[in-house]
Amino acid sequence: MSTQQHTKPSLTLKRRIKASPEKIFAAWTEPQKMMMWFGPENVETKEVDADVRIGGRFRVKMLENTGDWHEVSGVYKEIVENAKLVFSWAWITTPERESQVTVTLKPDGEQTILTLHHEQLFDETSRDGHIHGWTGSLDKLEALFA
């Protein structure tokens, strides 16, 4: 019997965005605003539901330019208005592979430093795919405020 603990992969991305924490928090929590940026460059967000409260659920449906549909959902675990969101993350196709996302927003003059930490990912392949997805999403979020 092995006592070795398997550490699941994680990723951390940081961005300096030309907007207040309030505006960025709204972009993460208001469905109409989320639809404008959520998902990488080859994906269009088609539907967002967000019940932004501890224990509330979110769901995002996206259409890839290949015609493939993707759906992700989760539960809000911690909310500090205009400063922090923590939520679970699971794709509809692999609900057993639940991970966790933490987004923190720190004011920096007239800008905000956004840090996204995605942990407890299934494996390195999943981590690499999420790096691609989150990088593309954050590019679009940053462009909203450019």
Distance CA 21, CA 114 (A): 9
For residue 61, give the 3-state DSSP assignment.
Answer: strand
CA distances (Å), 7 to each of 66, 107, 134, in order?
34, 32, 21
> What number of residues does the chain have?
146
Domains of the chain, by residue range, sit at: 11-144
Mean pLDDT by 10 residues, the chain (146 residues): 72 98 98 96 96 98 96 98 98 96 97 98 96 98 96
- What is the pTM (predicted TM-score) of this model? 0.94
pLDDT on residue 7 = 87
109 torsion bin: left (phi>0), alpha (psi -120 to 50), beta (else):
left
* Identity of the residue numbered 67: G
Is there a contact between 39 and 132 (Cβ–Cβ < 8 Å)?
Answer: no
121 touches 130 (CB < 8 A): yes
Residue pair 60/73 in contact by the 8 Å Cβ criterion: yes
Fold of 11-144: Alpha-D-Glucose-1,6-Bisphosphate; Chain A, domain 4 (3.30.530)
Phi, psi of 22 (to 5 degrees): -60, -45
The Cα 122–Cα 118 span in angstroms is 11
